[in-house]
Structure 1
Amino acid sequence: MLLRKVLLRGASASRLLISNKSPPASLLPLASGCTRFFSSSSQSEGPNDGFVAGQEGGDEQPPATITVDRSGLYHPPDHSHEPTTESELVKHLKGIIKFRGGPISVAEYMEEVLTNPKFGFYINRDVFGAEGDFITSPEVSQMFGEMIGVWVMCLWEQMGQPKKVNLVELGPGRGTLMADLLRGTAKFKSFTDSMHIHMVECSPVLQKLQHQNLKCEKVGNADENGEKSSVTSITGSPVTWYSSLEQVPSGSPTIILAHEFYDALPIHQFQRSSRGWSEKMVDVGEDSKLRFVLSPQPTPATLYLMKRCKWATEKEVESLKQIEICPKAIDLTHTIAQRISSDGGGALIIDYGLNGVISDSLQAIRKHKFVSILDDPGSADLSAYVDFPSLKHTAEEASDNVAVHGPLTQSQLLGLLGINFRVEALLENCTDEQADSLRTGYWRLVGEGEAPFWEGPDELAPVGMGTRYLAMAIVNKKQGAPVPFQ
């Protein structure tokens, strides 16, 4: 009854899809869903002639250092008065490589490109929405955040409606998902009164946007740093910002949301060579440009590679020429599982990925278009498919008190949570223009491929991505299977 009350309540359709052109007024049946509107995975740059072959895989422990033959590499002079178009981030990357005396891993490259404190892609700009580099599901339609609110509220009920719950969002973007979640549940006072919101965000620019979109106000006395507490005027819930999950206070039941967070975590790439698996690295070539090479020796990440291969079947591994692993995703999932085990609650992870081993998915996106991974670092988003089986194995090994459910497709998740009821309710109270936007946003969230009802220019056709985005839940076993994973 509560679920249907949430779905059918009379809310406005004030914040809808960002759309360049609206489709005809015909609503199609439920299909499958969306977030970043691009083709599957782009191929990262392949090995060049400068690659150094790797070493055969095995059970031996890898050394703690990487050695590479750099005799043929060009070493640029320390000082030059020649004009240069290199960005500060490129200079920084080359400085790291020179200081190390060897190449850096793809993971280190990703981390610098995305989150370097001065030059990182996410740090000093708003990269979301039609004017940014990509569009995420919360930016497509208010219905996405509302459906996630239904999931959170249902889990809260299964938890026994505790009086205090830590609601944590990892990588909240502009704060759109959380704002829509709170607006959608604002009438359920006992629920919103229990929520203490924690935003895990490292970008000062995005923190400011989140503060604005959550309509936060400063209240109470200043702390020792001169900061007052923030409260969202949407529900009156307290809001706090952190740079990592570990900083979020423990001891209370916790619900964690990770939407399009895992895909930006740095990955390591390995390539099969004549001597086994070799890690793909980033180095400076003879032309002073960044290029890919292979490490001739096992690297520290080889330990994670061995673990991932243990979780896969022999047939899966034998068929691969390349493989991606994400140690940070494994470590983060371990932390989440332990937090849920000790404090109770659950986590919902939604991202684009595969229910299997990931081969070669790393891609760079600038202004909604694919570009080369090494092209002008810091000006494009880097992301890779999420390896959902590795998350499942990690959580299950972290604690016997947690259960993993899914993955489901985004289409299945939103459909089972009741997005059809919600769109029907919204269509009863909106203008024709809003209705067209609702239908387009609905398709992008739960459709597959280009919308068949579209009659505008092909390049503007709404693309559904529901089968490309997967959802997985990790919950404390005491609470039973969460909605809608039963």
Structure 2
Amino acid sequence: MTAVKDILVQKIQESGPMNVAEYMETCLYHNEHGYYMSQTPFGTEGDFVTAPEISQIFGEMLGAWVADTWIKLGRPQSWQLLEAGPGNGTLMKDMLRTLKYALPECYEGAAITLLEISPMLKIKQRDNLLDHHICWANSLDDVNFDLPTIVVGNELLDAFPVRQFTKVADQQYREKLITYKDGQLQWHNSENTTNLPFNSEIVETSDAMESFLCKLKDKLTNGVALFIDYGDHATGDSLQAIEKHQKVDIFHKPGLSDLTAHVNFDNVRRVLGADRTSFAEPMGQFLNSIGLPMRAAALLERAEPSQKAEIEQATYRLMHPEQMGQTFKAIAYRTDNSYDVAGLYFESQPKSHAA
């Protein structure tokens, strides 16, 4: 039995069955034993690999996207680059290297903020970003939004806890709960029904994600936020546990495996407001629009033979529909509709003009 499982069992015995969000919150974010607070989740040594770990080209292209967005914000002398959920700091490192080389004026005026709650990951980020002046924030309330701000969140939204509901009649659902019986954590449906405006057999909602997005929308008064994550426009049972790059049972080693759920991008647009939020674009199309194939071709021209296969494989994994290119989506929120956002399009902007 893991330390987190002991905590879960005690909570259930004291308060009764818990919902999935409570389970995820405890497993992932318990201040001492939670997965993100005590484990090393990222990279080949961890439980999963994110896009920045696949190739530096991903971070370089997002760095170029940030530079383009900074120009569209009017080239502010002082501005803030905020990464929410920065992992090991790899993405920020690649973005800053690109900004420093391609647009020194942009780099020199940037206040760099990392939104991170994990003490272990803060250490890794610090070690990875020694060449840059970095500030950390534990929550959006700790971030100063007085400056024009560009927000980047890669695989952030999927880490927010979700609740799950099972359909029993039209728009009538019972919440899926977790109990402890016969020495095991088990599924248990609530006795009461809940009215939800859906018809799917299983519905997932994330109060935590919606709260985060609402607060960001309230605080971000001048800037753009970009989120890249896996998900779609539908709802359903997407909850999964990952350990050592393999899916495992949800109740397998609580606190020692990652728990995630697909992002419902329709909900993201609804919360942020469809008038200021782009449509969710498949990541492969987004990366194509901002020039990743051209960057890959330039790298291939001067690469050693041993490096060419790595570049080609990374491009394939990031962009191909059967890899990350379709499952992952990019979506942006802007505080001002007077400019476009590279690679994405909005209701007020024809798709052919998104650049």
Other-structure match for 1:281: 177
* Distance (whole Å) between structure 1 residues aligned to residue 321 and residue 337 of structure 2: 36
Asked if structure 2 preserves the Cα contact closer than 8 Å seen for 1:348 and 1:473, the reply is yes
Deviations 1:296-317 (A, max 9, x none): 125xxx5xx74xx2xxxxxxx3
Alpha carbon RMSD of aligned pairs, Å?
1.5
Q: SS state of the match for residue 350, structure 1?
A: strand
1:455-474 alignment to 2 at 5 Å? 464-474=323-333
Asked if structure 1 preserves the Cα contact closer than 8 Å seen for 2:85 and 2:115, the reply is yes
1:41-440 alignment to 2 at 5 Å? 86-100=1-15, 102-187=16-101, 188-216=103-131, 232=132, 238-273=133-168, 276-285=172-181, 287-297=182-192, 306=196, 309=197, 317-318=198-199, 320-340=200-220, 342=221, 344-354=222-232, 356-396=233-273, 403-440=276-313
* Distance (whole Å) between structure 1 residues aligned to residue 126 and residue 252 of structure 2: 33
* Distance (whole Å) between structure 1 residues aligned to residue 166 and residue 160 of structure 2: 20
* Distance (whole Å) between structure 1 residues aligned to residue 335 and residue 80 of structure 2: 15
* Distance (whole Å) between structure 2 residues aligned to residue 163 and residue 104 of structure 1: 49
* Distance (whole Å) between structure 2 residues aligned to residue 152 and residue 184 of structure 1: 10
Other-structure match for 1:13: none
* Distance (whole Å) between structure 2 residues aligned to residue 164 and residue 99 of structure 1: 52
Q: SS state of the match for residue 126, structure 1?
A: coil
Asked if structure 1 preserves the Cα contact closer than 8 Å seen for 2:250 and 2:259, the reply is yes
Asked if structure 2 preserves the Cα contact closer than 8 Å seen for 1:159 and 1:479, the reply is no
Q: SS state of the match for residue 37, structure 2?
A: coil
**Higher relative strand content:** 2
* Letter in structure 2 aligned against 1:272: K
Give the Å deviation of 1:415.
Answer: 0.5
Give the Å deviation of 1:410.
Answer: 0.4
Q: SS state of the match for residue 297, structure 2?
A: helix
Asked if structure 2 preserves the Cα contact closer than 8 Å seen for 1:97 and 1:103, the reply is yes
Give the Å deviation of 1:192.
Answer: 0.3
Runs of 4+ in 1 over 2 A off after TM superposition: 273-276
Structure 2 CA distance for partners of 1:445 and 1:353, relative to 1, 3 Å: same
Asked if structure 1 preserves the Cα contact closer than 8 Å seen for 2:287 and 2:343, the reply is no
**Higher relative helix content:** 2
Unaligned runs of 5+ in 1: 1-85, 217-231, 233-237, 310-316, 450-463
Give the Å deviation of 1:393.
Answer: 0.9
Asked if structure 2 preserves the Cα contact closer than 8 Å seen for 1:158 and 1:479, the reply is no
Q: SS state of the match for residue 94, structure 2?
A: helix
Deviations 1:395-439 (A, max 9, x none): 118xxxx61112111001110100111111111222111111111
Other-structure match for 2:351: none
Asked if structure 1 preserves the Cα contact closer than 8 Å seen for 2:179 and 2:185, the reply is yes
State whether structure 2 residue 350 is matched by structure 1 residue 477: no
* Distance (whole Å) between structure 2 residues aligned to residue 274 and residue 256 of structure 1: 41
Q: SS state of the match for residue 122, structure 1?
A: helix
Other-structure match for 1:452: none
* Distance (whole Å) between structure 1 residues aligned to residue 332 and residue 184 of structure 2: 43
Asked if structure 2 preserves the Cα contact closer than 8 Å seen for 1:447 and 1:466, the reply is yes
Asked if structure 1 preserves the Cα contact closer than 8 Å seen for 2:39 and 2:256, the reply is no
Other-structure match for 2:347: none
Give the Å deviation of 1:294.
Answer: 1.1
* Distance (whole Å) between structure 2 residues aligned to residue 478 and residue 385 of structure 1: 28
Q: Which has the higher contact order (CA 8 A, sep 6+)?
A: 1
Asked if structure 2 preserves the Cα contact closer than 8 Å seen for 1:409 and 1:466, the reply is yes
Q: SS state of the match for residue 296, structure 1?
A: strand
Q: SS state of the match for residue 448, structure 1?
A: coil
Unaligned runs of 5+ in 2: 345-353
Larger radius of gyration: 1
- TM-score normalized with structure 2 length: 0.93
Give the Å deviation of 1:273.
Answer: 2.5
* Distance (whole Å) between structure 2 residues aligned to residue 352 and residue 207 of structure 1: 24
Other-structure match for 1:79: none
Deviations 1:14-65 (A, max 9, x none): xxxxxxxxxxxxxxxxxxxxxxxxxxxxxxxxxxxxxxxxxxxxxxxxxxxx
Q: SS state of the match for residue 139, structure 1?
A: helix
* Letter in structure 2 aligned against 1:88: A
* Letter in structure 2 aligned against 1:201: E
* Distance (whole Å) between structure 2 residues aligned to residue 333 and residue 125 of structure 1: 26
Give the Å deviation of 1:119.
Answer: 1.0
Other-structure match for 1:35: none
* Distance (whole Å) between structure 2 residues aligned to residue 483 and residue 448 of structure 1: 20
Give the Å deviation of 1:274.
Answer: 5.9
* Distance (whole Å) between structure 2 residues aligned to residue 253 and residue 368 of structure 1: 38
* Letter in structure 2 aligned against 1:332: F
Give the share of equivalent positions with the same residue, in percent: 33
Asked if structure 1 preserves the Cα contact closer than 8 Å seen for 2:238 and 2:261, the reply is yes
* Letter in structure 2 aligned against 1:253: P
Give the Å deviation of 1:99.
Answer: 1.9
